[in-house]
Amino acid sequence: MKYTALVLPLAGLASATPLAHAVDSTTESSPLRFRFRAGHLPSQPHARGVQKKDVVVSNAVPMRKVTNAGGNNALRSVWKQPLHKTFADGWDLTAETNTTTPAARLRFLIHNQYIVPIQIDDQELQVTVDTGSSDTWVVQSNFSCFDPDVGQIGSEFCSFGPVFNGTFKYGSVPDVSSFALSFSNGEYIGGAAGYDDVTIAGLTVKKQQILLANEAMWAGDGVTSGYLGLGYPLGTQVFSSSDPTYAYPGSPTHRKYDPVFTSMYKQGLVDPVFSIAMNRTSGEGWLAFGGLPPVEHEDDYARAAIRPIEIDNSPATKTENTYYTIVPDGFVFGNLNTSNLTFSNPTWTADFNDTKPSQFPVILNSGLPFSFLPRSVVLPYVLQFSAPVGRFGGQYWAPCNSTVPPFGVTLSGGKTIYLAEADILQQEFTQVQSYEGLPVDLCLIAFMDTLPDGPFYLGDNFLNNFVSVFDVGNSEMRFYPLK
Ligand SMILES: *[C@@H]1O[C@H](CO)[C@@H](O)[C@H](O)[C@H]1NC(C)=O
Ligand SMILES: *[C@@H]1O[C@H](CO)[C@@H](O)[C@H](O)[C@H]1NC(C)=O
Ligand SMILES: *[C@@H]1O[C@H](CO)[C@@H](O)[C@H](O)[C@H]1NC(C)=O
Ligand SMILES: *[C@@H]1O[C@H](CO)[C@@H](O)[C@H](O)[C@H]1NC(C)=O
Ligand SMILES: *[C@@H]1O[C@H](CO)[C@@H](O)[C@H](O)[C@H]1NC(C)=O
Ligand SMILES: *[C@@H]1O[C@H](CO)[C@@H](O)[C@H](O)[C@H]1NC(C)=O
Ligand SMILES: *[C@@H]1O[C@H](CO)[C@@H](O)[C@H](O)[C@H]1NC(C)=O
Ligand SMILES: *[C@@H]1O[C@H](CO)[C@@H](O)[C@H](O)[C@H]1NC(C)=O
């Protein structure tokens, strides 16, 4: 997701609704959070399949990285929107919202995304690979681009890639008049749900439900035209009503459907597993369906069960997976680790009777370039960099030549896997600040802190280090370190 776990449908957003309303609704929506309180979990990581050996498959599509440079052509006023409350609270931006310069806000939003080509009814489009959402959508030819300050503007200002020319091959979804996805950085798309054929990595999924956006508030990269949502059916965001009361997974108005990957294995095209490999240096990678991509990796892997975690006060999410959520044994950060920390509502551990208070859940999210973790991890970690470490625009920065303290995630069996220094202190994001009267080159530390009760994410700066296997059939993640 584009800085969002929070793809919240909005009230009353049929295409004719004024966008001012959309913006208000975005800021008022209740944030999506983990609720540990009632997250009763049957602990059965291997309940749904027979685990096979991971094999390299030919159904792999090359991924590449695009950088959204903060919108040379982009819709500028999106960046000026008040941040979603979660961001304001969790990322300590409340105090900065009124004072931060536009330049700093732009920097906050600059980011990389991994993209792949897909074909919808034989038209090729580039889409963001997002394990943190479930809908696949592209922008439609006659879409309207909105600026929250001035209303409708030329579609070029939304900076999408090529648009989809046409409409649904198999018609619209009955019972769903429109959809609306609002992103917590102020972006928004709305449109219709219908069916078409979707081809990716040489596999054609017939009569797949997709979304076509016909309106947008978007700060695009000029390349991508939408998203490929690889999350679970419960994470889809299509509702038969725009009543926000029911804007949660599994609600009476939720029109849950099988996303592209779910349809792919249900149609018998592949085994229920996909994998992602990224290369931080070349900006290239692979998305493979049914097995592993053709990438050199260590044989030895670390594993963790994918577990349902209650989100958004939704009972359905307690027992059915929504996203790729794991509960690591712990985190190692510099000289410290999480073993003596306590996270979350204490009743969480009562529900998860196989975990300790020092554990917390994280979502594997390929749509986020960075990772979002509790402040009680991020702050003591960044303080182990050489001074002057600073917090600007809600992000932590350290001297670019700092020694990077180790950062690792401990998974099943006590196996700790580490991130490369280049994924922690990101040399491509720099700024100069004055320290004791002297200019210092600072680089971005790719960990953001967030609300104490999450949601927490491991983004691309984690995924860059592994062939990551999303084994849906066995509800298990496997991470093979890259060679
Ligand atoms: C943990 O919870 C599961 C499912 O609720 C239950 O089957 C199991 O017996 C519990 N284990 C312990 C040690 O209480
Ligand atoms: C920011 O400005 C708005 C409008 O002027 C005001 O309502 C709000 O309280 C200010 N926030 C902070 C944190 O100063
Ligand atoms: C865009 O075109 C499609 C198909 O021709 C049509 O169904 C839809 O209403 C149009 N949207 C707008 C905003 O004009
Ligand atoms: C849709 O048509 C426009 C105008 O001809 C073209 O530029 C664009 O590439 C087409 N989109 C796709 C996905 O082929
Ligand atoms: C990543 O890309 C770099 C530069 O192209 C290359 O040297 C390196 O071998 C690649 N790494 C992997 C694991 O493929
Ligand atoms: C965590 O730190 C404790 C000491 O505070 C140490 O005993 C333990 O081995 C560490 N665990 C890991 C996984 O590093
Ligand atoms: C955890 O252990 C570290 C290292 O011993 C110590 O600095 C830190 O204060 C401890 N944290 C808590 C919450 O006890
Ligand atoms: C980083 O660079 C600064 C300025 O050139 C220098 O003073 C400092 O010693 C360097 N630090 C490290 C850890 O190399």
Nearest atom, ligand 8, residue 401 CA? 1
Its pTM stands at 0.85
Predicted pLDDT at 451: 64
Predicted pLDDT at 184: 57
Which residue matches tokens 């700060």?
219
Whether 43 is in the pocket of ligand 1, judged by its Cβ within 6 Å, is: yes
- 136 Cβ contact partners less than 8 Å away, ≥ 6 residues apart: 118, 127, 198, 208, 210, 211, 226, 227, 228, 229, 259, 260
Terminal-residue alpha carbon distance, the chain: 28
95 with 330: CB under 8 angstroms? Answer: no
Nearest atom, ligand 1, residue 354 CA? 1
The whole-angstrom separation of Cα 445 and Cα 421 is 10
- 16 Cβ contact partners less than 8 Å away, ≥ 6 residues apart: none
The whole-angstrom separation of Cα 273 and Cα 334 is 34
**Blockwise average pLDDT, block size 10, the chain, 483 residues:** 30 24 26 40 42 89 82 42 34 35 42 91 96 95 85 88 96 85 74 96 98 90 94 94 85 95 97 96 96 96 91 83 94 97 63 80 90 88 85 77 97 96 91 79 85 81 97 96 95
The whole-angstrom separation of Cα 102 and Cα 396 is 18
Pocket of ligand 3 (CB under 6 A): 15, 140, 142, 144, 167, 214
**H or E element: which one contains 90?**
helix 85-90
Q: State which amino acid sits at residue 45.
A: P
Nearest atom, ligand 6, residue 338 CA? 1
**Assigned CATH for 19-481:** 2.40.70.10
Q: Is the peptide bond before 369 cis (omega within 30 degrees of 0)?
A: no
- 346 Cβ contact partners less than 8 Å away, ≥ 6 residues apart: 357
> Which ligand is in closest contact with the Cα of 398?
8
**Sheet-wide strand order for 336-337:** 336-337, 330-333, 407-411, 415-418
> Which ligand is in closest contact with the Cα of 143?
3
Q: Which two tokens stand for residue 88?
A: 């304001």
> Ligand 3 center to residue 382 CA distance, Å?
50
Q: Which of 331, 333, 335, 340 to mutate to test the pocket of ligand 7 (most atoms within 8 A of CB)?
A: 340
Q: Which two tokens stand for residue 375?
A: 């402040």
- Tell me how far CA of residue 303 lies from CA of 145, 293, 481, in angstroms: 43, 18, 12
> Which ligand is in closest contact with the Cα of 119?
4
113 with 224: CB under 8 angstroms? Answer: yes
Predicted pLDDT at 50: 55
Predicted pLDDT at 175: 83
Q: Which of 56, 63, 280, 282 to mutate to test the pocket of ligand 5 (most atoms within 8 A of CB)?
A: 282
Which residue matches tokens 């983990």?
34
174 with 206: CB under 8 angstroms? Answer: no
Predicted pLDDT at 97: 37
> Which ligand is in closest contact with the Cα of 403?
8
Q: Which of 401, 421, 435 to mutate to test the pocket of ligand 8 (most atoms within 8 A of CB)?
A: 401
> Ligand 4 center to residue 350 CA distance, Å?
54
Predicted pLDDT at 158: 87
Q: What are the phi and psi torsion angles at 73 (to 5°)?
A: -105, 0
> Ligand 8 center to residue 388 CA distance, Å?
11
> Which ligand is in closest contact with the Cα of 88?
2
Residue whose CA lies nearest to ligand 1 atom number 9: 353
Predicted pLDDT at 345: 56
Residue whose CA lies nearest to ligand 8 atom number 4: 440
Whether 353 is in the pocket of ligand 1, judged by its Cβ within 6 Å, is: yes
Whether 410 is in the pocket of ligand 6, judged by its Cβ within 6 Å, is: yes
> Ligand 5 center to residue 126 CA distance, Å?
23
> Ligand 4 center to residue 72 CA distance, Å?
22
Predicted pLDDT at 452: 67
Whether 482 is in the pocket of ligand 7, judged by its Cβ within 6 Å, is: no
